[in-house]
Amino acid sequence: MLARMPGFYARLAWNGRASRAIVATMKPGVLAALIAIAGCGKSSPSENRTASGAASGTASGTASGTAGGSAQPAPVKPAPPAVPLTADPGGATGKVRWAASFGGFGTDYARAVAVNAAGQIAVAGYFDGEATFGKLGTRKATPSADAKKPTSDVFVVGLDATGAPTWVDTFGAARDDVANGVAVGKDGTTVVTGNFLDSLDVASSDGKIHLTAKAAGSDDLFAAAFDKTGKPLWLWTSGGIDSDGANAIVATPDGGWLVGGSFTGEAKFGPTTYESMGGTDALLVKLAPTGDVQWAQQMGGAYNDSINALALDGAGNIYLLAEFVDTAKFGGAPLPNAGDAYADLAVAKLDPNGKHVWSKSFGSKSAEAAGGIAADPAGNVTVSGSFEATLLLDGQSYNAVGQYDLIVAHFDTNGATQWVKTWGGEGTDIAAAIAADASGNTVLTGWFEGSVVFGEKVVSSKGNRDILTVKIDPKGAITWIDTFGDHDHDQARAVAIDGDGNPIITGVYRYAFDAVTPPLQSVRKPDEKLPNTDILVVGLAR
């Protein structure tokens, strides 16, 4: 089940709920617990899809196959040709354009951000107690059975291009429910995905719409859709008696959605029941615009594997970043693991129908953790993550400077490595997420401790941990670096880039964010020594 992580990292790293990816790849070290992206849970195999105004029922779709295999993809339109990169206009600054803060006295945590070409932004995560979302007012999480142990509800908030909130929805039950991913379609439809325990009731603000579902057992995965005004459209859930979770979602060119995560034991996706090959298997599910399952694939090996991040290129090809143990398949030949009992990273390309194109792995005999993956329109793909000790990629060794270092690796559309960058200091430095623009630039975000050297520039944190954002050109050169932080703990968890190339980052902070005037202040009690985190969203200039 979703649970609070014990000790130091529960306070300073994640401030709360253990994630599905943590469960999938937990090792004796702490790195997997530091940057894993999702949630947990499960019961007898079941799947539900509820549409606005309709009763709950079994999802329809064209998937078929045998348990333990991949469902056959539904017919889709031919993919468009590769999209060429646009010329970079230059003049990039990374300056803060706006910032927004949401939260209350409880733990408020942003885990995902997305934006469409029209500048419609969505941020998702979880909160407990009460949280205020600007002019939209205060929302209350479902009370816990034990008042001394508050549990979390899901939040998803829509923002306009200036960072002003336009709508918000929250949902959950008496135990922990968490959002891990969010996507915004061309028409402004927003779909949030994650994990839930017990039940869900996704309701409209006027109370006229209630989309409900019950978990099959422990944690189940969900995807909930909203129109551009925040009106609930449909709710899809699935899972079995063990732990299942959704870590990532992207909008597909046909108006549908692609969900990545993992499952354990038996679980039903579409008409097919799957059985994991090991502890947890990686999972990829294609949903229609209506939330019906079109196809599903399981990937992995005999141990714990999960898909942590997803991206699409301009032709609709699929790119995934995964963590795996021992040996695992991600649509192609088995990939070796350099770390034996530790998780390595895998990156794979699939065509729009889910057919394998290429896959490769990299790692070390110590711990690595997946951050994010980004694909530019032409199909060049960049991944981010964190590693300790010595990492091997294509036979080349990369040594960590300190405890955990940042890594960014860039591949062409055929999977050939183009460049690799690593940075770090003596502490823990985390590359949590990455996004690409139409010119092939990428923006990395995460956090760092102490001092980190980026070529000729050294950045130093003001407090325990500071937010780090780095823009990198297509050749791997740094364009600009931003750091933000107060005297305690601040971190960025996700990044998206709008149609004009402007990054939006989201994460958490504890005291003040002084990059805007007047500074943003977290919600905290007077003289509180260790306040809970609030949600931070920052719009940067390209």
* Average pLDDT, integer, range 103-132: 96
Q: Model confidence at 67, in pLDDT bands (50, 70, 90)?
A: very low
Name the pTM for this structure.
Answer: 0.89
Could you count the other beta carbons within 10 Å of the beta carbon of residue 210?
Answer: 15
In this predicted structure, the answer to whether residue 462 has a pLDDT above a threshold of 50 is: yes
Cβ burial of 278 (10 Å; 0-12, 13-18, 19+) is: middle
Q: Report pLDDT for 79.
A: 56
Summarize the confidence of residues 55-64 as an average pLDDT: 30
Q: Which of 27-36, 184-193, 361-370, 459-468 has the highest mean pLDDT?
A: 184-193
Mean pLDDT of the region 313-322? 97
Token code pair at residue 492: 């960025």
Return the structure tokens found at 180: 């891990």
The stretch 479-495 carries a mean pLDDT of 94
Mean pLDDT of 22-45: 38
Chain mean pLDDT for the chain: 86
Single out the residue of 235, 306, 241 nearest to residue 273, CA to CA. 241
Give the start-to-end residue ranges of the domains of the chain: 8-228+242-533+536-540
| CATH code for the domain defined by 8-228+242-533+536-540 | 2.130.10.10
- d(Cα 196, Cα 148) in Å, to the nearest integer? 21
pLDDT tens-place string over residues 177-231: 999 999 999 999 999 999 999 999 999 989 999 999 999 878 999 999 999 999 9
Which of 73-82, 209-218, 252-261, 416-425 has the least mean pLDDT?
Answer: 73-82
List all residues 6 or more positions away from 309 whose beta carbon is below 8 Å from its beta carbon. 37, 247, 248, 260, 320, 321, 370, 371, 372, 373, 383, 433
pLDDT at residue 13 is higher than 70: no
Residue 42 clears pLDDT 60, i.e. is over it: no
